Structure 1
Amino acid sequence: MSLLLGVASLSACAQSPAPERANGGKGTTPATSADAPAVEAGTPDARALAAIRTINEEIKVDRIAAAPLPGFREVVVGGQVLYVSDDGRYLVQGTLYDVKDKKDLSQVGLSVVRRELLDTVPTKDRIIFAPPSPKYTVAVFTDVGCSYCRKLHQEIAEYNKQGIAVEYLAFPRMGVASEDFKKMEAVWCSQDRRKALTDAKNDRKVVAKQCKNPVRMQYEIGQRAGLTGTPMIITESGVQMPGYMPPEALRAALDKLAAEGEAGPGAAVAGGH
């Protein structure tokens, strides 16, 4: 059974059609969640987990919780949200939208998982462009060849002027066997990562280097966070923005989320689109 198909934003570069799982070779699989959350036997959570396992025993389940939909559990799997009936018989995949409050409720649990995943990435493993006292901080999964990633980076000074700190994470969208992956390893292995990233995004040569680096791990995290295209912009509260956004538009969106109590760490999270 084919599950978890995503649709890329029109303002993002699509990832490889069949991205490799980054759980082999060099690097480490992130341990934000176990392969399955601890559940008590005989509970709706246990039945939901068992239902998922009947489809694919190797699926990594990041979260199981009560769904906003009565009679269902919400299960976050591979960056997507599924709903499994409490008896474990029915599975629903898709957006759960609250018409009254005009919110995508599917994003709530996914935002929690995104925060947990991002918390596993040390500051030293990010490439940061920040103003002296940022109002907001966003994590951005980026690729060196993606046109929208390049456009965002060309405007990095303006994002900073808008009070937005940008913390880059690596996502070579063509996969771990691609030239982009090697280029991003060279960037993260450079002494001056900020300059190397800027050079790579402008087709300037970056000396090929290999070292112990977080590129493979960050690629895996991007997949688990639900990435369907780069750049993927995530707020401190785990809300995903809809692909590339001009600096003023991103600042306006972050201001709106802040007014709704959804922009900062630990805030309540609503839809990211």
Structure 2
Amino acid sequence: MPTILRHVAFSALAAALMIGCSSQAGADQTTDKLKATLQERLPNAHIKGIAKAPIPGLYEVNLGVQIIYSDASGNYVLVGDLVDTKAGTSLTQARLAELNKVDFATLPLGDAIKVVKGNGSRKMAVFSDPNCPYCKQLEATLKSIDNVTVYTFLYPVLSDDSTAKAKSIWCSADRAKTWETWMVDHRPPTTAPICDTSVLDKNLALGHAMNVTGTPTIILADGRRFPGAVSRDELDKALSDALKASPAH
């Protein structure tokens, strides 16, 4: 390539890079300023991040358990789902699921009750309260699902009695059997010998850090969250889909 052409090509590339960097810097300044404004005006909100929304001039504000939308100035916010009318899907919920994905491999599985059924190839973790009716419904559903490994993180958030039951279950000689006996057969756990129950505090801290605000909360092997109160067929399909999509597969 002649020297002059190389010079022109280099200049064009440099200009493009400068424009890209300038745009990124502008975007960062806008979102940083918007975050500061909204944090001042909405002091009770914990803003985890701000990014451009699919609609020009609109920004998504990630509150961890919720996404709201704002204009660039922070003078106006919208609360509700952004819906793709062609696809008939909620872009808000899809984006929230993406933001809240979990690296399954990083979960402290030793702090959970482990149950293996069949070959155990499909894996899921669930945050569950012993007094949660939907958690009991999930356990009944799991009775008819095979080839799954379930890691149950005791997550007593409903009452002091939930904490008491969780401690008895964790301190029992056979945690998995005691858990199932209570959740499925409704036979309360007997008083167990005193043991180290600090794992419950760790589970609560983990759940809060992961924005687990309700029980049961299911984490699939591919990191997606899945609602607990679903049918047997929905859960079975989700487990198989997650196995195919998980990094280790």
TM-score relative to the length of structure 2: 0.70
Counterpart in the other structure of 2:70: 84
Secondary structure of the residue that 1:252 maps to in structure 2? helix
Which of 231, 234, 239 is matched with 2:219 structurally?
Answer: 234
Which of 122, 128, 133 is matched with 1:136 structurally?
Answer: 122
CA contact (8 A) 2:60 2:67 kept: yes
C-alpha separation in 2, matches of 1:67 and 1:262? 31
Matched, 1:51 2:37: yes
**Aligned residue type for 1:231:** P
CA contact (8 A) 1:170 1:218 kept: yes
Task: Indicate how the Cα distance of structure 1 residues 61 and 150 shifts in structure 2: closer, same or farther if over 3 A, else same.
Answer: same
1:240 positional shift: 3.6
C-alpha separation in 2, matches of 1:210 and 1:55? 47
Which of 174, 194, 204 is matched with 2:158 structurally?
Answer: 174
Counterpart in the other structure of 1:109: 95
- Relative contact order higher in (CA < 8 Å, ≥ 6 apart): 1
CA contact (8 A) 1:78 1:223 kept: no
Matched, 1:183 2:183: no
1:46 positional shift: 0.9
Question: Aligned Cα RMSD in Å?
Answer: 3.4
Counterpart in the other structure of 1:98: 84
Task: Indicate how the Cα distance of structure 1 residues 41 and 73 shifts in structure 2: closer, same or farther if over 3 A, else same.
Answer: closer
* Ranges in structure 1 where 5+ consecutive residues have no aligned partner: 1-38, 267-273
Counterpart in the other structure of 1:146: 132
* Ranges in structure 2 where 5+ consecutive residues have no aligned partner: 1-24
CA contact (8 A) 1:158 1:247 kept: yes
1:250 positional shift: 1.4
Matched, 1:197 2:209: no
**Aligned residue type for 1:179:** D
CA deviations over 1:100-158 (Å, ceiling 9, x no partner): 12222112332234324866531111222233544532322211112221232234342
Secondary structure of the residue that 2:74 maps to in structure 1? coil
Task: Indicate how the Cα distance of structure 1 residues 42 and 204 shifts in structure 2: closer, same or farther if over 3 A, else same.
Answer: closer
Give the number of the structure whose alpha-carbon radius of gyration is greater.
Answer: 2
Query: Which is helix-richer, 1 or 2?
Result: 2
Moved more, 92-101 or 68-77: 68-77
TM-score relative to the length of structure 1: 0.64
C-alpha separation in 2, matches of 1:142 and 1:247? 18
Matched, 1:247 2:232: yes
1:96 positional shift: 1.6
Identity of paired residues, percent?
25
Matched, 1:264 2:245: yes
Moved more, 201-210 or 89-98: 201-210
Task: Indicate how the Cα distance of structure 1 residues 262 and 154 shifts in structure 2: closer, same or farther if over 3 A, else same.
Answer: closer
